[in-house]
Structure 1
Amino acid sequence: MAHSITANLEQEEQLEERAYSKVTWRLVPFLCLCFVIAFLDRVNIAFAKLQMVSELGWSEQVYGFGAGIFFLAYFLCEVPSNLIMHRVGARRWIARIMISWAALTGLMAFVHSTTAFYTIRFLIGAAEAGFFPGIILYLTYWYPAKRRSRMIATFMTAIPIAGVSGGILSGWILSTFNGNGGLSGWQWLFVLECVPSLIVGIAALFYLDDGIARAKWLDEAARNRLIANIEAEAKSKQTVSLSAVLRRPAVWLLALAYFGAAMGQYGFGFWLPSIIKNTGVASTMNVGLLSAIPYAFGIAAMLAVGRSADRSGEHRWHYLVPCAAAALGLVVSALYSRDQPVSLIALTVACMGLQCLAPVFWRIPTSLLGGIAAAAGIALINSIGNLAGFVSPYMIGWIVDHTGSTRVALYVIAVLLLLSAAVVFRLPHNTESGQ
């Protein structure tokens, strides 16, 4: 009898593992591709800056404001976008997001005034709002909390992958296409890099399913098992109203912590090519190649830390240590900004730390909230945190215009990363399920 029960349990576990493996291979590579393209389109302005700012006669502060105004629109539209996705389904909404931002990114090639620059960057932010929190919410429809950090970490390898591929691709476009057809390299950058978004956005309409129940590529036994796992977890989550979410101190503390982390991530992403160029690298192609190095190491660090966090069930130290590493790397890169090898090593350490933060961080709110509260809470935390996407590049641009250096800005970001770690570390232990 005992042997029969054990055999049945083993069969159930094998069924579950096969089902999750099938889900992962079906969804995660496609979602990673979507995010690679999204992040590439979001930060290609950092490479366009290498030619665009001088050609159009703009200041560093103009660039910083234009790079950052994207996130003001993102902030305003993100919560409504996630609530709409929860209502209409991921398939149509993710496709809509990608197609609309592709069209607007292509228009960036024809910007010549600061007004047009600010307007189109704002509209791109509005178009893309909801994409990242929408994907995080979408993963909660498929995976229980115990599997989610690893899936989020795998999904978010798209950021360093975009950093690697984007640096090489953008450097090549800037140097190869400059002057072709009467367009500058930075214009070709926007024209060519909007095409993948359009293609993949259309593909999403036919490829994605809104949830487990609609996944015809899973057999009935697998669907029932995965649905049972999600329903069992949902009973332990707090499904509350939007107004109740807004009254929860933990949600606002998580938003504050994410703001500090995003200050580092966006400051790094939008200014890395310029920082590398200022170490004495003249060729845009070489800037692109060197920009890929930190992100290549970031991929390995992100996967290792995400796997370790899931295996141990501990997330506070897995957040604090990368924050400290990122802060240290930024400080050292500032102190040795003219020493190219030391600066590049320090930037690589900073990137490794920064890439580890989001996968570990998002395990906390996705375990805490369910239903409409998850849609609203995740979007609220992400939208407030992503205000750093406006503050960080604008702050760095202002500091560079007034001091001629990024050093002070990097020190400020390092301090904010340490404060972010302190907030997460001091959250009540019952914020995370299972701890």
Structure 2
Amino acid sequence: MAVELKQEKNVLESPALKSAISKATFRLMPMLVILYIVAFLDRTNVGFAEAALEMDRGITAGAYALGAGIFFIGYAIFEIPSNLMMKKVGAKFWLARIAITWGIVSACFAFVQGDTSFIALRFLLGVTEAGLFPGVIMYLAEWFPNKHRVKMFAIFYLAQPFSQVIGSPLSGWLINIGDQVPGVHGWQVMFFVEGSMAVVAGIFAFFLLIDGPQKAKWLSQQEKDALTDAMKQEDSIKKETGPSGVMAALSSGRVWYFTIIYFCLQIAVYGVTFYLPQQVAQLTGQKVGMAVGLLAAVPWFFGMFACILVGRYATTVIRRRVLGTWLFVSTGLCIIGSAWAGANSLPALGIIFITLAVCSFLAIGPITWSYPTAFLTGTAAAAGIGLINSLGNLGGFVAPILRTNINETFASDSGAMGIVALGILPFVAAVMMWGTRRFKSKADDLLEK
């Protein structure tokens, strides 16, 4: 046993492996980040068009909430099939296909005519984007050892805050510019331009992504072998301790455990994201546009630093568990705090609470995904990761509907009760994250090396 552990340690500490990881990070991560920047932008830019769609196309608050959320129904239905297809045809082709088709659908939002077309396009956007996020998670789990994986996930997660740092002002600017063009509305220009960006990104992804270390021309043979050996070592442990095959993954208690945690996280993420422009506008008393876009970018700007810091620090099981637990607690407290600030007309404090909430839930994501990728491999990974992401993302369907219904039941000018409702579930996730100490496996021993 001592000899086996020593051999595992030698594989993980070899200079060739470190060099391979460094090169893979430089070559792959920028393209993956760009893909998710555009995806998150196209997924959430509807927040900037909410008021304009109501005015120009008569889309009601109920239809907007349903449309914002129904994205995740289409997303959930096609998530696992998409992941399984990626295993067959390769990440390079499949991720490019996803980006191009969702970009086309996103651009079509420029031609929305009413409630029906808006809801239908939101559903189709979910269908076409299904598989991107879990596909990238699975792709990174095949390229990077667990010891380095949270850092890679954190780099990937930078796309969320970065998309809002540049996307919020960009969306506001495109709306302002579009409003000056005769015959069109600003929101139409925003949807068309940002949808076209996804198509371009998908084309580039096809040429820049690589299906596995052995196909990477920019790695030496020694580096290819070192990275392949490290990943084979992890896979052998996953096969010993994790579920094998699609059905085993779908019935795994651990998979469902992390599905619930991720659902609670997504309630917070999308409950804040979908309504952030409107909440900032309400706090500051301004109309949604460039100024609100810049203010809405502030939380995401600081969120980038939170991702980087957590990614560098969360390198052991204990650190991941403790950080994850407290970050969930922080998320819940700060969301509730932002509701209190809004109800008491304290805009500066409201922005601070929103910023801290965004920093907290962004930093949790990479930690959360480090757990299932430590025990899932092969088709079990495709199915398990797909299940966690698809059902977890239904939090994005529930969040706007929950918030709208609570606000209609407990009506107020600030809509504080709807926000408070979104801040409760992160506390459930905090308890469950702390409960992961019950999950002990050989993969944890490998991580501690």
With the length of structure 2 as denominator, give the TM-score of the two structures.
0.92
Kindly indicate whether residue 399 of structure 2 is the aligned counterpart of residue 392 of structure 1.
yes
Q: Is the contact between residue 278 and residue 288 of structure 2 (CA under 8 Å) also seen in structure 1?
A: no
In structure 1, what is the Cα distance between the partners aligned to 2:256 and 2:12? 43
In structure 1, what is the Cα distance between the partners aligned to 2:230 and 2:181? 55
Displacement of 1:62 in angstroms is: 1.5
In structure 2, what is the Cα distance between the partners aligned to 1:130 and 1:283? 32
Q: Specify which of 247, 252, 260 is matched with residue 251 of structure 2.
A: 247
Displacement of 1:56 in angstroms is: 2.2
Q: Is the contact between residue 48 and residue 288 of structure 2 (CA under 8 Å) also seen in structure 1?
A: no
Deviations 1:23-76 (A, max 9, x none): 100000111011101100110101111322232233322211111110000010
Report the equivalent of 2:277.
273
Q: Is the contact between residue 61 and residue 398 of structure 1 (CA under 8 Å) also seen in structure 2?
A: no
Deviations 1:228-265 (A, max 9, x none): 11101111003502221122211111101110000000
Q: Match of 1:434, as an amino acid?
A: D
Kindly indicate whether residue 332 of structure 2 is the aligned counterpart of residue 344 of structure 1.
no
Matches of residues 2-401 of structure 1 in structure 2 within 5 Å?
A: 13-237=14-238, 238=242, 240-279=244-283, 280-310=285-315, 314-337=319-342, 338-401=345-408
Q: Is the contact between residue 263 and residue 392 of structure 1 (CA under 8 Å) also seen in structure 2?
A: yes
Deviations 1:107-145 (A, max 9, x none): 101001111111111011000000000000000111111
RMSD: 1.7
Displacement of 1:281 in angstroms is: 2.1
Change (3 A) 1:283 1:367: closer
Displacement of 1:307 in angstroms is: 1.4
Q: Match of 2:440, as an amino acid?
A: N
Q: Specify which of 423, 430, 444 is matched with residue 414 of structure 1.
A: 423
Change (3 A) 1:110 1:318: same
Displacement of 1:361 in angstroms is: 0.2
Kindly indicate whether residue 435 of structure 2 is the aligned counterpart of residue 430 of structure 1.
no
Q: Is the contact between residue 406 and residue 421 of structure 2 (CA under 8 Å) also seen in structure 1?
A: no
In structure 1, what is the Cα distance between the partners aligned to 2:23 and 2:122? 38
Displacement of 1:388 in angstroms is: 0.7
In structure 2, what is the Cα distance between the partners aligned to 1:224 and 1:155? 25
Q: Is the contact between residue 32 and residue 157 of structure 1 (CA under 8 Å) also seen in structure 2?
A: yes
Change (3 A) 1:97 1:13: same
Change (3 A) 1:406 1:193: same
Is the partner of 1:141 in helix, strand or coil? helix
Displacement of 1:332 in angstroms is: 1.1
Q: Match of 2:60, as an amino acid?
A: S
Is the partner of 1:321 in helix, strand or coil? helix
Displacement of 1:14 in angstroms is: 2.5
Report the equivalent of 1:6.
none
Change (3 A) 1:239 1:227: farther
In structure 2, what is the Cα distance between the partners aligned to 1:95 and 1:28? 15
Q: Is the contact between residue 280 and residue 292 of structure 2 (CA under 8 Å) also seen in structure 1?
A: yes
Aligned residues: 427
Change (3 A) 1:11 1:316: closer
Displacement of 1:401 in angstroms is: 4.3
Is the partner of 1:430 in helix, strand or coil? coil
Q: Match of 2:387, as an amino acid?
A: L
Change (3 A) 1:260 1:153: same
Q: Is the contact between residue 64 and residue 395 of structure 1 (CA under 8 Å) also seen in structure 2?
A: no
Displacement of 1:179 in angstroms is: 4.3
Change (3 A) 1:99 1:317: same
Change (3 A) 1:307 1:113: same
Change (3 A) 1:426 1:217: same
In structure 1, what is the Cα distance between the partners aligned to 2:161 and 2:418? 22
Displacement of 1:10 in angstroms is: 11
Percent identity of paired positions between Structure 1 and Structure 2: 36
Q: Is the contact between residue 364 and residue 432 of structure 1 (CA under 8 Å) also seen in structure 2?
A: no
In structure 2, what is the Cα distance between the partners aligned to 1:10 and 1:269? 42
Runs of at least 4 residues of structure 1 off by over 6 A? Answer: 9-12
In structure 2, what is the Cα distance between the partners aligned to 1:142 and 1:136? 10
In structure 2, what is the Cα distance between the partners aligned to 1:205 and 1:245? 29
Displacement of 1:314 in angstroms is: 2.4
Q: Is the contact between residue 255 and residue 381 of structure 1 (CA under 8 Å) also seen in structure 2?
A: yes
Q: Match of 2:443, as an amino acid?
A: S
In structure 2, what is the Cα distance between the partners aligned to 1:135 and 1:163? 20
Displacement of 1:11 in angstroms is: 12
Unpaired stretches in structure 2, ≥5 consecutive residues: 1-9
Q: Match of 2:248, as an amino acid?
A: A
In structure 2, what is the Cα distance between the partners aligned to 1:283 and 1:129? 29
Q: Match of 1:123, as an amino acid?
A: L
Q: Match of 1:228, as an amino acid?
A: D
